[in-house]
Amino acid sequence: MIKERSEGTQDKKKYRFTKQIIRIALDNGYTNADIAVKAGLSGKSIAQVSRWRNGEALATERQMNGLIKEFGHLLKRKLEHLFYSFDSEDKIYFFRIEGEILLKHVTKILDSNKSISIRRVIVIRSSDQFVVLFQKRLGLKDHLDIKNMGFSDNEDAHWVSPNYATFNNPQEMVEKIYCLLPSFKHQSEKQNNDNDRIILAFKIRQALLKLGLPTEDINLLDLSMPNSNNDLTQ
């Protein structure tokens, strides 16, 4: 739900679902010029709308207020995500999470020269929290048996969600997520999962950086050094 705020706050508060709601408006017949006028801008301000649509900038809540009133119910549907798990008696139950999916990271292994997805990590920004779902492939046991694994044309249906964690800020998430990753190593894996952890570490930081939430361990590279062959490994 969108909470009521003072007019002054709406003038400055950025609307983090700008890109999503603008794309919904475009899908429902709006043009860039229409959106500009709806946002209180000139109909010629289509370049600004393009920046909003492509995620290069965020509009304010006041600018998006008209679109929120018209399409907020459709946006809410897009921000609802369905998952499932099994209880201690192996009974399936379904649950939903509201928020924006920041990334999906899939771990794969090679089995008989085939690439098989075995684990997935999903990061969702829900209100003021970050939710991390640790998923495993439906039918995956302690050993890999493709015949027992589920296969569907719906990718999300492949994944059971036995564990999740919540974090109050991005720094806490990047510091603790690796301790929570479930340990699963199939006998066909030639290496440990260090490479997979590095890839996940990069993808999480990249997603947060694009949201304007850089973590403390991301440094700005000093390009003022005259040497054109600087060694980053030193």
Average pLDDT of span 76-90 = 90
Q: Please, what sign has the CA dihedral across residues 56, 60, 62, 64?
A: positive
pLDDT band at 146 (very low <50, low <70, confident <90, very high): low
Q: At 177, phi and psi to the nearest 5?
A: -60, -35
In the block, tokens 């794969």 appear at 108
Instruction: Give residue-wise pLDDT tens across range 19-46.
Output: 889 999 999 999 999 999 999 988 788 8
Instruction: Give residue-wise pLDDT tens across range 190-222.
Output: 555 678 888 889 999 998 888 788 888 898 887
- What is the chain's Cα-based Rg? 22
Residue 83, strand partner residues: 95
Helix (H, G, I), strand (E, B) or coil at 184: coil
> Is the model's pLDDT at 234 over the cut of 70?
no
* Greater model confidence, 164 or 196: 164
> Is the model's pLDDT at 1 over the cut of 70?
no
Strands in the chain per DSSP E: 80-86, 92-98, 100-111, 114-126, 129-137, 159-167
**Contact between residue 126 and residue 99 where contact means Cβ atoms under 8 Å apart:** yes
Residue 110, strand partner residues: 115
> Is the model's pLDDT at 84 over the cut of 90?
yes
Smallest CA-to-CA distance from 32 within 49, 18, 57 is with: 49
Smallest CA-to-CA distance from 136 within 84, 193, 194, 98 is with: 84
Q: What is the C-alpha to C-alpha distance for residues 110 and 103, in angstroms, rounded to an integer? A: 23
- The pLDDT score that the predictor gives to residue 2 is 41
Q: Which amino acid is at 210?
A: K
Q: Quote the tokens at residue 119.
A: 């684990």
Helix (H, G, I), strand (E, B) or coil at 24: helix
Q: Which of 58-62, 93-97, 143-147, 213-217 has the lowest average pLDDT?
A: 143-147
Average pLDDT of span 129-139 = 90
**Contact between residue 186 and residue 118 where contact means Cβ atoms under 8 Å apart:** yes
Torsion of CA 174, 176, 178, 183, to 10 degrees: -150
Q: What is the C-alpha to C-alpha distance for residues 71 and 24, in angstroms, rounded to an integer? A: 7
> Is the model's pLDDT at 100 over the cut of 60?
yes
